[in-house]
Amino acid sequence: MKYEIDYVFLPKGETKTEEIGGINDMVLGDEHGFGIVPQVGDYVEIPRSRMGEREVYKGKVCRRQFRHVLGYVYVRIVLAEVDDKEWNNPAC
């Protein structure tokens, strides 16, 4: 099984997401090795994109959407922006 993961970012107070990087930000499985798919509630930081539109994307995973097509699993992960206070002190 091959996984293709696409991250999108939901800025605080917005209803529309922003793309982060390309369509497949991470490819896992088969010859591509393995990795961890973040769960809802996990905090994720993605370094500055090559395009330079934001310094860093960081937020809390608020939703994961899976689409299964002929041996591929396409995962769309929505990161909701969090303020610095929550980022620095996530509730456990």
pLDDT tens column, 46-81: 876 566 666 688 899 999 999 999 888 888 999 999
30: phi then psi, degrees, rounded to nearest 5: 50, -125
Q: Residue 14: is its pLDDT beyond 70?
A: yes
Is residue 29 domain-resident? yes
First to last CA, the chain: 33
Structural domain includes residue 92? no
CA distances from 91 to 43, 50, 63, 68, 85 (A): 11, 32, 18, 33, 11
Q: Using the predicted structure, report yes or no on whether residue 84 has a pLDDT greater than 90.
A: no
Contact in structure between 71 and 4 (CB atoms under 8 Å): no
Is 14 a member of any domain?
yes
Number of structural domains (the chain) is 1
By residue range, what is the domain housing residue 36? 2-80
- Residue 16: phi and psi, rounded to 5, are -110, 135
SS3 85: helix
pTM of the model: 0.77
